[in-house]
Amino acid sequence: MTETSASLAATETHSFDTLSLSPGLRAALEQLEYRTMTPIQAASLPISLGGHDLIAQAKTGSGKTAAFAITLLTNLNPRRFAVQAMVLCPTRELAEQVTQEIRRLACFEDNIKVLSLCGGTPIGPQRGSLEHGAHIVVGTPGRLMDHLERGSLRLDALNTLVLDEADRMLDMGFFDDIVYVAEHCPPKRQTLLFSATYPEGIERLAKQFLRHPQEVKLLEQH
Ligand code: ADP
Ligand code: MG
């Protein structure tokens, strides 16, 4: 195959147009200049938008954030002012990045509120923000657990749970906190697990919290 025909084929098969996305998401993708899906997005979005639980493994920098952000925004009802999606991240820095990416993808929707809830900052103002309401929360497992214990975070309306960088969360000793948080989510929900590697602990997490997950592993991706 010549280089030209290879890139044309990739453009055809990986166009966001093959997905059924809201006009707001389409406009945001255009603004972000995301013209074609990355390989992990192309492989995982048809599964996650179909409502299935997902285990997705692909290296860092492959576009996993948008893969789950597009899914959770598609599952979201902006008129229902309650936490409908939660993303667990290993560090505050990553949680902030994920929060920004979700906000960018949600910027053409009406007033979708995304809150970042991480340790290392006072909990009081976060409780105040939660009282004002949020559609999506992104945070580190310890701080999310803290809010659940205090009753400041309620998850009865949650429909999408994302475990981002699950391998790093396990490396950092968050297994028990993840279990606590996941056990406070409604059983009827979609769970998406993203990881750069697939150590044994991920299998345990997946068995415990995902229902009939479909797996996408892109090992040789460049
Ligand atoms: P990962 O979580 O897999 O490490 P990120 O979600 O952080 O990767 O994405 C890496 C970079 O790729 C980001 O700068 C993001 O803006 C960009 N990106 C994501 N999806 C696309 C796309 N479809 N087209 C172009 N750039 C993209
Ligand atoms: Mg990531």
pLDDT in tens, 104-115: 999 999 899 999
ipTM confidence score: 0.99
Range 46-50 contact pairs with CB under 8 angstroms and sequence separation of 24 or more: 46/19, 47/214, 47/216, 48/190, 48/192, 49/19, 49/20, 49/74
Is 118 a residue whose pLDDT tops 70? yes
pLDDT of residue 220: 64
| Global confidence as pTM | 0.93
Domains detected in the chain: 38-217 (3.40.50.300)
Is 6 a residue whose pLDDT tops 60? no
Query: Would you place residue 7 in the very low, low, confident or very high pLDDT band (cuts 50, 70, 90)?
Result: very low
**Three-state SS for 51?**
coil
Is 70 a residue whose pLDDT tops 60? yes
Integer Cα distance of 110 and 83 in angstroms: 16
pLDDT of residue 60: 92
Buried b (16+ CB within 10 A) or exposed e, 2-33: eeeeeeeeeeeebebeebebeebbeebbeeee
Ligand 1 proximal residues by C-beta, below 6 Å = 34, 37-38, 41, 60-66
Mutate to test the pocket of ligand 1, among 14, 17, 33, 34 (most ligand atoms within 8 A of CB): 34
Is 219 a residue whose pLDDT tops 80? no
Is 169 a residue whose pLDDT tops 70? yes
